[in-house]
Structure 1
């Protein structure tokens, strides 16, 4: 067993939702004491760094209710139960931006908030873009637009880009262009 592992003694599911579940775990700590952990379970997601032929990044503007504001983000979406990340990434890119990609590269994955959630985002680079058909979910309202890396940095400065996955994407692209 891992040195810092916490053993779950009991678990109570508080909420089962369409996107997340919330549970409370009673755990035994490495020193033998007990504590509670509030855990959000999420099916995982994908995020797409879509780069145009002229080296621009595709972003979408979307109102985010938890933040009470509209932010600019890279296209992304939730995995369906049992879904592989690449088909999900292809679907989300087309649905949110109206573009298809001829070349896909997996860039790995990362946990969004491991202190309380198990959400794992798979990051992809999409290139060789061509026209597809935008078709957002019935409760999803987005506006697609293109920016240069310099413009994206300015959007970060004014907090229009204000989410981790998009900031990671921009940092990744900056590393590619060095």
Structure 2
């Protein structure tokens, strides 16, 4: 945050807990506004998550994407998404990305690259999602959590971008992943690839 941002900052003066469940934690804070007034901010504390953009090579060497179809109860729809999941306590982003990809799709990746981070709902949640790319995929067995039902399928980058443009893909993290993917494949944005157990930043190449 730069010095010029201080005139926009709100400062917490008091707070209370509204709800604490297995997954979500809701709070209500009173804040002092930049002009000295007061306001109430209600928000959800989230542990953070990862999303994986898995790049699969078909028999002809063309890139395909590993995607999922999953029913999301709050919106009452089956959504097209990239594999994703929340961080366990003390878990690194890379470890979470490896775990979620393996559990949800069965794929294990030989190379990984951290693209960046997104904040999907900044008005009411602390949630952040690390965006990871995975390649050199090898298929094994899925290990879905109890009560988790999803379908895994593949599509070309062109198909995904078409679905985004048609409004068939509306999941915010997947739309962001499609933006990253488009720029990586065009060469506009680069990735720093590493082995699955290497420290972050080790090695460098682009797809």
State the distance in 2 between where 1:157 and 1:109 align: 23
What TM-score, normalized to structure 1? 0.95
3-state SS, counterpart of residue 162 of structure 2:
helix
Give the superposition deviation at 1:6. Answer: 1.1
Gaps of 5+ in 1: none
Per the alignment, residue 22 of structure 1 pairs with 26
Q: Render the CA deviation track for 1:6-37: whole Å, top value 9, x for unaligned.
A: 11111111111122111110111010000000
| Alignment match of 2:57 (pick from 37, 53, 60) | 53
The yes-or-no answer on 1:132 pairing with 2:136 is no
2 CA distance for matches of 1:94 and 1:13? 36
The one of the two structures with greater contact order (alpha-carbon pairs below 8 A, sep at least 6) is 1
Task: Give me the whole-angstrom Cα distance separating, in 2, the residues matched to 1:176 and 1:7.
Answer: 39
TM-score by length of 2: 0.82
| Counterpart contact for 1:59–1:147, Cα < 8 Å | yes
Q: Distance in 2 between matches of 1:177 and 1:124?
A: 15
Aligned positions of 1:84-95 closer than 5 A: 84-95=92-103
Picking from 121, 126, 129, the partner of 1:113 is 121
CA–CA distance in 2 between the matches of 1:104 and 1:42?
25
User: How many Å separate the matches in 2 of 1:91 and 1:165?
Assistant: 18
- Whole-angstrom CA distance in 2 between matches of 1:176 and 1:81: 31
C-alpha deviation, 1:116, in angstroms: 1.2
Runs of 5+ unmatched residues, structure 2: 187-207
The 5 Å alignment of 1:1-178 reads 2-54=6-58, 55-178=63-186
Query: Number of paired residues?
Result: 178
Q: Deviations over 1:125-172 (max 9, x none)?
A: 000000222011112101000000121123224433211111111121
Query: Which consecutive aligned stretches of 4+ in structure 1 deviate over 3 angstroms post-superposition?
Result: 157-160
